[in-house]
Structure 1
Amino acid sequence: MPFSFQNLTSGVTLACIAAVVLCNLLILLMIRAGVLDHPVARSSHTRPTPKGGGVGIVGAFILCLPPALYEAHASMRIVPAITGLLIGMILLGTVSWLDDVRPFPARYKLAAQFVAAIAAAIGTGATLPELIPFVLAAVFITNALNFIDGINGLASGVMAISALVLASTGLMPVAFVLLAVCLLSFLPYNFPKARIFMGDVGSQPIGLAIAWGGMTGFGTGSAVLVIALLSGVLWDVTFTLARRARAGDRLAQAHRGHLYQLAVRSGLPVPLVTCLYWGFALWGAAAFATGQIITMVLMIVLPQLAWTGYVCTRARTRVQDRW
């Protein structure tokens, strides 16, 4: 039966309130800690800004989820899936935070992503051969949401919308309601003006959680729903990687060539671009709701083609340096 937000128990509601309080406290603590993201040539910001806001989101989610599930009288059958997710999130959060403080080689981060994705996938009961595509998809989605976290509110807003939609389908509703609450608690600190950035410590574990949503309901269409919700993000990242590969650029090298970055560099306001990507997530949910695969594909692909053409046309005339 589809989940109704009116069915939240008082215990789950209290857990959500506790998550809001804890998330805000941790974010304020990270602001005071002063771990700064200093602007470089590829940055969208112009002054040093605290990072690590994801500590608040992920920390509040991990600490408040077990009591929330207990209060909701959740079935013991979901314990392995939840355990696998939390192990993966803790691993990614720890590695990402250490990298935020003192960067280390990308291969170590990629290895951590694979281990985290394997833990999350095994927890859902996945076995070979479906384990392999699950893990590869989870790693790609985790990186895609990390790549897209380059302007205020874009990644956190898309992930909050995705979590709310996943919750409304009845798929691990307590977990995704709580995740959405934590993301929405962070959003005012990052949009429209950023007092703090989410950082890899937020985007990577939460990206894994969204991908996990597609794994847990595999066979019910949840994997397709996750792709539809993230269609704007996945299109942007895939198009950018393909374009850079064709140009002979190093794919692992940091750059400012994503569509959302080109849109901002061409003069479009950051809040407008952010809200557009939120709209892509909502439009993806609407496309999925049609229940018709051809209709859904057309509803998703045609706007992305139009957006890509528009941004590239603007970039050719308004972006001076190479992109």
Structure 2
Amino acid sequence: MGQPVRDYLLTLCVTAAVTYLLTGPVRKFAITVGAMPAIRARDVHQEPTPRLGGIAMFGGLCAGLIVADHLHNLNGVFALSNEPRALLSGAALIWLIGVLDDKFEIDALIKLGGQMIAAAVMVLQGLTILWLPIPGVGTVALTQWQSTLLTVALVVVTINAVNFVDGLDGLAAGMVCIASAAFFLYGYRLWVGYGIEAAAPATLFAAIVMGMCLGFLPHNMHPARIFMGDSGSMLIGLVLAAGAISITGQVDPDAMKLFAGSEQQATHAMLPVFIPLMLPLTIIAIPTADLVLAIVRRTWNGKSPFAADRGHLHHRLLEIGHSHSRSVLIMYFWSGLIAFGTVGYSVPSASMWIVLAIVVLSAVGLVLLLTPAFTPRAPRWAQAVVPPRYRRRKTPPTATPSEATREAQQGPLEGRMGQGGPDDGKTAERAPVAAGVAGVNGATAIGARSRFSDRRNAGTPR
């Protein structure tokens, strides 16, 4: 059982490494070709940031599939199933559409049509929902048009749910990584724990999308050096949907009779993750809720459902007082709670404990959500391994009266006049503001000296 884990970890690490190493050159390429759109009214970043991060993520996807094809425990997925090839075909198409949108801002309806075509390409190659396990009824086979319609709908919903939530640095990549981790645990349990080989492709897809997100996150955490753009958000959304389709519509509930007792009991046991239309809602519930609220809000206001605005959940977190990083961590918390809670609830023997844990963690999450002024700090023993924003600040030493007087008289003037003051060396983002302040304060100082000189001259006998 340990060998498949090593193969999955190797695939994940290769995918993450290739994505990470490609992101730097892709960033330079995006700057060169001008894929740095101007800041829009709904954006939260303060300076133009290059997009096209999906190019590096697509490279990681290809590398992960190539490595998995040469591993002993995973090459059977490619020999016995056409799903990896179907995924690569649909991913290449949706990635190309995303790249064009990142550079040229194509119309929303064209993107929607491209998403549907990419989903149809996967359906034609066999990556589709063949049946649905209905509680109390059993397995219900789908006709060809029902299968195609349901598969395309699931792909489009998942892609747009991930795309809509991509509004803060590191948010979309982190939430999809959390969802994929929960999805990987469930798929691995079916394949290795119960010997259902039909769950192997979905488990591989989950490992690969985890690697894509982990490799891109170091470049995308706040403040982000590059955005994944639609080329990345639509790509990881499609890969996540492909895994959901594979494990939902390909694994026959009849195979679960061996350990569930009967077909109906197997269907009930797998209910949390085996209904395709519910799967995106449970695994990526936060993006899906944001998608539904955005459509209702825009339609109610007489706008197009695809018209961008500042009403997303992450925007509202910022408005009530949460910082950028804290808003992202809150979204991570709720995504992990829903995703892992759903997967844990699929284990019947631990269902009651899972429910109690979800209730407790939900209460903790509500407390953190309603206290935006609270700033999390790591314990002292972990100061060296956490980002600087979570370290405890040292209390500055108390200055002597003479030092405080010199600081009040000389320090601010030197800082304003650019003579080695404490504000030297800040980022270019604050340079115009600092220059304006320097000009105003410099003029004030000159005016004060001029008035002093006038008063001194006025008091001198002529």
TM value normalised by structure 2: 0.59
SS at match of 1:287: helix
- Shift of the 16–230 alpha-carbon distance from structure 1 to 2, 3 Å rule, reads closer
Deviation at 1:162, TM superposition (A): 1.5
SS at match of 1:277: helix
Deviation at 1:76, TM superposition (A): 4.2
Match of residue 189, structure 1, among 219, 234, 242: 219
- Shift of the 57–277 alpha-carbon distance from structure 1 to 2, 3 Å rule, reads same
> 1:193-218: per-residue Cα shift (whole Å, max 9, x none)?
20111110100011011111211011
Matches of 2:3 and 2:314, distance apart in 1: 33
Any stretches of 5+ residues in structure 2 without a counterpart?
130-143, 189-198, 250-269, 371-462
SS at match of 1:129: helix
Task: State the AA in 2 paired with 1:155.
Answer: A
- Shift of the 75–178 alpha-carbon distance from structure 1 to 2, 3 Å rule, reads closer
Matches of 1:91 and 1:207, distance apart in 2: 13
Deviation at 1:150, TM superposition (A): 0.7
Task: State yes or no: 1:89 paired with 2:76.
Answer: no
Task: State the AA in 1 paired with 2:51.
Answer: K
Task: State the AA in 2 paired with 1:282.
Answer: G
Asked if the contact 1:31/1:196 (under 8 Å) is kept, the reply is yes
Please list, as runs of the form range in 1=range in 2, the aligned pairs for 1:273-292 lying within 5 A after superposition: 273-288=327-342, 289-291=344-346
Matches of 2:38 and 2:176, distance apart in 1: 25
Task: State yes or no: 1:179 paired with 2:193.
Answer: no
Deviation at 1:225, TM superposition (A): 4.4
TM value normalised by structure 1: 0.83
Task: State the AA in 1 paired with 2:127.
Answer: T
SS at match of 1:36: coil
Matches of 2:325 and 2:91, distance apart in 1: 29
Match of 2:75 in 1: 73
Deviation at 1:125, TM superposition (A): 4.3
Asked if the contact 2:175/2:332 (under 8 Å) is kept, the reply is yes
Task: State the AA in 2 paired with 1:242.
Answer: V
> 1:155-196: per-residue Cα shift (whole Å, max 9, x none)?
000111122222222243233212212211111111132011
Greater shift after overlay, 257-266 or 222-231?
222-231
Match of residue 324, structure 2, among 270, 276, 294: 270
Deviation at 1:240, TM superposition (A): 2.4
Please list, as runs of the form range in 1=range in 2, the aligned pairs for 1:151-300 lying within 5 A after superposition: 151-169=168-186, 170=188, 171=199, 172-218=202-248, 221-222=273-274, 223=276, 224-288=278-342, 289-291=344-346
Deviation at 1:17, TM superposition (A): 4.0
Matches of 1:242 and 1:91, distance apart in 2: 29
Asked if the contact 1:213/1:226 (under 8 Å) is kept, the reply is no
Deviation at 1:230, TM superposition (A): 0.6
SS at match of 2:330: helix
SS at match of 1:147: helix
Match of residue 124, structure 1, among 108, 111, 127: 127
SS at match of 1:50: coil
Matches of 2:174 and 2:241, distance apart in 1: 16
Match of 2:448 in 1: none
Matches of 1:167 and 1:243, distance apart in 2: 34
Matches of 1:269 and 1:5, distance apart in 2: 43
Task: State the AA in 2 paired with 1:290.
Answer: Y
Matches of 1:166 and 1:69, distance apart in 2: 21
Match of 1:318 in 2: none
Structure with the larger RCO, 1 or 2 (CA within 8 Å, 6+ apart): 1
Counting matched residue pairs gives 301
Any stretches of 5+ residues in structure 1 without a counterpart?
312-323
> 1:46-78: per-residue Cα shift (whole Å, max 9, x none)?
101111112111221123313313313323465
Root-mean-square deviation (Å): 2.9
Asked if the contact 1:39/1:47 (under 8 Å) is kept, the reply is yes
SS at match of 1:49: coil
Match of 1:42 in 2: 42
- Shift of the 5–277 alpha-carbon distance from structure 1 to 2, 3 Å rule, reads farther
Greater shift after overlay, 49-58 or 67-76?
67-76
> 1:266-316: per-residue Cα shift (whole Å, max 9, x none)?
3311111111221122111233122489x98xx69xx6xx98xx89xxxxx
Match of 2:153 in 1: 136
SS at match of 1:75: helix
Greater shift after overlay, 85-94 or 15-24?
15-24
Task: State yes or no: 1:8 paired with 2:6.
Answer: yes
- Shift of the 114–125 alpha-carbon distance from structure 1 to 2, 3 Å rule, reads closer
Matches of 1:151 and 1:265, distance apart in 2: 13
Deviation at 1:13, TM superposition (A): 5.0
Matches of 1:286 and 1:58, distance apart in 2: 27
Asked if the contact 1:236/1:260 (under 8 Å) is kept, the reply is no
Deviation at 1:145, TM superposition (A): 0.7
**Aligned-pair identity (%):** 24
